[in-house]
């Protein structure tokens, strides 16, 4: 059972380079998220999607772009990488809107993380 | 700005003791509350959720919610070295789209032998 799969796990970028973090989930979840976590900090939401073709900004979207062409995939694009983007990136997914109180509807499943260093 | 605050710790407790982790949040319109455990170098995993005032127990874990005082806590009974991790409090707000969670910075728990 794969769950949420992120690639690559580790990457070193030079300032100004671009790259895409890949994320795919096999649980047929509608909601997908990208978070970043800086050392000693909590998770900050970069972008999210409530379904194929729909994306929206989170708390810290600057310097990133996303697309959601399929239910399964939610890639995160870094354009013109900067040292401030050195972080751990987590992709996550959730089954539905979770408007009720069910644990299954509200549980967010995380990928294993991608460690990105910009030098 | 909707905020979730936690003491970063580390909180050190001896093995077998009760660990008490606290979290406060800024918006009274918050809907539901979650505790995630994150081992070093790993992704967060959900361990407890709570929606109503009072206590919710699951094994050695008890989540407590007090909406009037805007705090949520996690108690870990009979703490084990394997409980050593960072515990993230997360809040889902009643307003705003996408069912987004706001996370606290986490409290590092160390259970000592």
Dist. CA B9–CA B105, nearest whole Å = 10
- Over range A25-50, report the average pLDDT: 92
- pLDDT > 70? residue A101: no
**B13-28 pLDDT, tens digit each:** 999 999 999 999 987 7
The CA-atom distances, in angstroms, between A43 and each of A99, B8, B32, B65, B67 are 22, 14, 17, 22, 23
Residue B37, exposed/middle/buried by CB under 10 A (0-12, 13-18, 19+)?
A: buried
Alpha carbon distance, N-terminus to C-terminus of chain B: 41
> Between B8 and A86, whose confidence is greater?
A86
C-alpha to C-alpha distance for B90 and A28, rounded to whole angstroms: 24
Q: How far apart are CA A21 and CA B12, in angstroms?
A: 36
Contacts of A56 in chain B (CB under 8 A): 97-98
pLDDT in tens, A4-21: 999 999 999 999 999 999
Q: Model confidence over B40-67: pLDDT tens digits?
A: 999 999 999 998 899 999 999 999 999 9
Residue A107 banded pLDDT, cuts 50, 70, 90 = confident
Closest CA to B21 of B87, B77, B70: B87
Q: Do B97 and A56 touch (CB under 8 A)?
A: yes
Residues of B in contact with A34 (CB under 8 A): none
Yes or no, beta carbons of B43 and A97 under 8 Å apart: no
CB pairs A-B closer than 8 Å: 58
When pLDDT is cut at 50, 70 and 90, the band that residue A97 belongs to is low
Chain A nearest-CA distance from B100, in A, is 8
Average pLDDT, chain B: 90
Higher pLDDT, residue B108 or B3 = B108
CB within 8 Å: B98 and A42? no
Q: What average pLDDT does this structure show over B90-102?
A: 73
Contact: A101, B42; criterion CB under 8 Å: no
Residue in A40, A94, A108 nearest the CB of B105: A40
Residues in chain B within 8 Å Cβ distance of A43: 44, 88, 101, 103
- Per residue in B60-94, pLDDT (tens digit) is 999 999 999 999 999 999 999 999 999 999 988 76
- pLDDT of the residue at B96: 59
Is pLDDT above 60 for B97?
Answer: no
pLDDT number for residue A39:
84
Nearest neighbour of A42 by CB, restricted to B45, B51, B103: B103
The residue-averaged pLDDT of A32-49 equals 92
Distance from CA of B99 to the nearest CA of A (A): 6
Confidence of residue B99 (pLDDT cuts 50, 70, 90): low
Residue A98 has pLDDT above 80, yes or no: no
């Amino acid at each position: 059972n794969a769950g949420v799969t992120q690639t690559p796990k580790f990457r070193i970028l030079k300032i100004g380079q671009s790259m895409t973090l890949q994320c795919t989930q096999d649980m047929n979840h509608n909601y997908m998220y990208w978070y970043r976590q800086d050392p000693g900090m909590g998770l900050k939401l970069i972008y999210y999607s409530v379904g194929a073709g729909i994306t929206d900004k989170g708390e810290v979207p600057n310097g990133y772009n996303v697309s959601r062409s399929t239910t399964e995939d939610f890639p995160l694009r870094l354009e013109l990488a900067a040292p401030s983007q050195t972080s751990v990136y987590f992709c996550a997914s959730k089954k539905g809107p979770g408007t009720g109180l069910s644990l299954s509807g509200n549980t967010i499943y995380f990928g294993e993380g991608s460690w990105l260093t910009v030098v | 700005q909707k905020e979730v605050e936690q003491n970063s710790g580390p909180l050190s407790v001896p093995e077998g003791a009760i660990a008490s982790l606290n979290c406060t949040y800024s918006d009274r319109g918050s809907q539901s509350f979650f505790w995630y455990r994150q081992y070093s170098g790993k992704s967060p995993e959900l361990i407890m959720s709570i929606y109503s005032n009072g206590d919710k127990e699951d094994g050695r874990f008890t989540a407590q919610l007090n909406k009037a005082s805007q705090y949520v806590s996690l108690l870990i009974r009979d703490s084990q070295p394997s409980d050593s991790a960072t515990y993230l409090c997360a809040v889902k707000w009643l307003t705003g789209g996408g069912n987004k969670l706001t996370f606290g910075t986490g409290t590092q728990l160390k259970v000592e032998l």
